Amino acid sequence: MTPPTPVTALRGVGDALAERLRALGIESIQDLLFLLPLRYEDRTRIVPIGALRAGQRAAIEGEVVLTEVAFRGRRQLLCRVADGSGSLTLRFFHFNPQQQQGLARGARVRCFGEARRTAAGLEFVHPEYRRVDERGPSPQDEHLTPVYPATEGITQGRLRQLVGAALARTSSLEVEDLLPAAVLLEESLPSLREALEYVHRPPPDAPIDALLERRHPAQRRLAFEELLAHQLALKLLRRRVQQEPGWPLTADGAMKARLLAALPFQPTRAQIRTLREIEADLALAKPMLRLVQGDVGCGKTLVAALAATRALETGAQVALMAPTELLADQHAQNFRRWFGPLGVDVALLVGRQTGKARVAALGAVKRGEAPLVIGTHALFQEGVEFAALSLVIVDEQHRFGVHQRLALREKGAASGRRPHQLIMTATPIPRTLAMTAYADLDVSVIDELPPGRTPVRTVVVADTRRHEVVQRIRTACLEGRQSYWVCPLIDESADMPYQAAEETAAALAAALPELSVGLVHGRMPAAAKERTMRRFKDGEIQLLVATTVIEVGVDVPNATLMVIENAERMGLAQLHQLRGRVGRGAHASSCVLMYRAPLSALARERLAVLRDTNDGFEVARRDLELRGPGELLGTRQTGLAQMRVADLLRDADLLPRVQIAAETVLTDWPSQVERLIRRWVGGAEQYGRVG
């Protein structure tokens, strides 16, 4: 594949300018071509100065009738320009002698800027301008003027010049059409060159609204190719992973039967269906890649435990990775309760372990004496070796990046076989988003809650009613229930006047002297945090004040009231996760979303979503609408949220066709796959080659 031509190949681009362009992600001429405008300005029409209105951005043309350097607080260049219909002032705070000379009286100039009203009349501050020929009519701009993302040291004029130079290059290699003609024809898409020419130089009659909304066919052509590249990167990852030898895990199911017999309840139909899908994958000699989506409290962990019996019965190892030590600790407790009676040891491997305890844990894992290992990201750190890792379970997928879960997969390489991967998330992803974000995974959905789970009633109140909320906690706790109070910060910040967890805990303890109040947050020593959580679970603490460290995994069936302070500052997915900490028992539960006025329209709408529905999939759908895919997927996800052209919400209708095109390209034009990925995703095809 021909390497991209460096931007320094363009005339006038030296090392200094190349370094500034790098801040915009531009290193090659191809990068310049894909630097798409943020918006457009219509400079094709000259507006008479007399018709200009304050706030209007427009092009004017006239003669300089007066130029002077004034000292009004600071040195500035003032030029009076007239066109017969009126006059306005050009004001420059930064100028040099050449500019002053070029704007001398009698010069004819064309300017573009935003008209501002002053006591002396209208003015443009630092407008873009150029001299025009005084001898005859000057040519009009032939296209709308693009406005590009800015970076220090490069003017818009220079960027336009560079993009123009890139477009004018005679070599077609920079804009080689990598979409097969059959796909272009099937989708009625313009060629890449046509699309780029249009988005950088739209004609004067271009539909400006469609361009600003990025819905013009030329922009959709580029979005289609970018979505296709991301889809191909993930499909290629899946293909590479599944070409490697896996562990065919077949067992008679005796351990699973014993675990099920010990449960005080029956799994739901959705849990059983999902388990069958997983078991079918585990029986194959290629690595499983499966995502299990399910709402808070649907029983994903039990499904993972039942799946683990397949590997444990064959004598192989299972690793479960959780995003926090608190959640890893809780998983370890649950798995020991389930597997202890079955004679299976459960090892815990977390970052806080040091000395002899860590050495002993690492040794047991390496020798295969620890068949079931639970931990945090410490599991895939250097020095952790497994004897026969056959199944990797990743909890709360959105907290980990692709690289992190693949790094754990590499730990199975010692046995010559790659482990199966079971990915779990309680942050449901709408189907259109999952089609792109998890194209490397098969998806199972647990869409049923266990019987007996009562819906949580959610109310939204202003923090001016704090005393009523405190009284509600007193009532609930004196009736024998327990409560949470969640704060977004640990310490008070001068910039953000929100109640901090430590101050809140002290204030609530003073207001509720008859209750036992505990505090847990991420900066506490792990032992102190675990001790507090255990006391809360055992009922010794009635009110737990916490930061969002309790967002996932904490299971206290007796807790029936959740108060979330400054709820307007949190995302819908996070609020839904926190709400899921209550309603886990047989008692009616409530969630109080407390906010500080005034509420923005967006915050009001988000809180209304939580108040109106308990359905995690509906919450996720609305979250996608309100805040976009970046929040749902997490900033460390596959990079999909950083797309240059495409938008997963706006362009959702393209995704089914992109999926079909991806299969077509993989089958019929495999030589184009790596090139498309390189153009749009860069090194993302390396996802499958970690370590």
pLDDT digits (tens, 9 = 90+) for 399-450: 555 666 667 677 776 667 889 999 998 777 766 677 677 777 888 999 888 8
DSSP H or E segment with residue 217: helix 217-243
Q: Which CATH class is domain 254-446?
A: alpha beta
CB atoms within 10 A of CB 214: 19
Question: Could you give the CA distance from residue 303 to residue 287 in angstroms, rounded to a whole number?
Answer: 18
Q: Is the pLDDT of residue 691 over 50?
A: no
Helix (H), strand (E) at residue 436:
helix 431-437
pLDDT tens digits for 22-64? 888 888 888 888 888 988 988 888 999 999 999 999 999 999 9
C-alpha to C-alpha distance for 587 and 570, rounded to whole angstroms: 27
pTM above 0.85, yes or no: no
Mean of all residue pLDDT scores within the chain: 85
Beta strands 317-321 and 389-394, pairing class:
parallel
Token digits of residue 259 = 């675990």
Quick one: which H or E segment has residue 87? Answer: strand 87-92
Question: What percentage of the chain carries pLDDT values higher than 90?
Answer: 45
Residue of 633, 612, 623, 581 lying closest to 297 (CA atoms): 581
DSSP bridge pairs for 318: 372, 391
**Residue 548 banded pLDDT, cuts 50, 70, 90:** confident
pLDDT digits (tens, 9 = 90+) for 1-11: 567 788 998 98
Query: Helix, strand, coil % (nearest 5) of the chain?
Result: 45, 20, 35
Which tops the pLDDT comparison, 638 or 72? 72
Cβ-contact 280, 457 below 8 angstroms:
no
| pLDDT value for 623 | 79
Q: Give the span between the Cα atoms of 38 and 25, in whole angstroms.
A: 15
641, pLDDT greater than 50: no
Q: Are strands 372-375 and 346-349 parallel, antiparallel or unpaired?
A: parallel
**What per-residue confidence (pLDDT) applies to 638?**
42
Backbone angles phi, psi at 46, to 5 degrees: -85, 125
Q: Is the peptide bond before 557 cis (omega within 30 degrees of 0)?
A: no
- 115-137 tens-digit pLDDT: 999 988 999 999 989 888 765 55
How is residue 546 annotated by DSSP? Answer: E
d(CA 593, CA 271): 31
Instruction: Domain 45-140: give its CATH architecture.
Output: Beta Barrel (2.40)
- The set of residues, in sequence order, having a beta carbon less than 8 Å from that of 513 and lying 6+ positions away, is none
Contact 398, 425 (CB under 8 A): yes
DSSP state of 39: E
Q: Which two tokens stand for residue 548?
A: 């969002």
Per the model's pLDDT, the better-predicted residue between 568 and 409 turns out to be 568
Domains of the chain, residue spans:
7-40+150-213, 45-140, 254-446, 457-613
DSSP state of 489: B
- Give the chain's radius of gyration (CA, Å): 31
CA-closest candidate to residue 281, choices 246, 309, 234: 246
The architecture of the domain spanning 457-613 is 3-Layer(aba) Sandwich (3.40)
- Amino acid identity, position 589: S
Residue with more model confidence, 14 or 355: 14
Residue 488 has what pLDDT? 75
Same fold flag, 254-446 and 457-613: yes
**123 sits in which H/E element:** strand 121-125
Contact, 614 vs 580, CB < 8 A? no
The candidate with the shortest Cα–Cα distance to 673, out of 118, 89, 361, 237, is 237
pLDDT band at 480 (very low <50, low <70, confident <90, very high): very high
pLDDT score at 414: 61
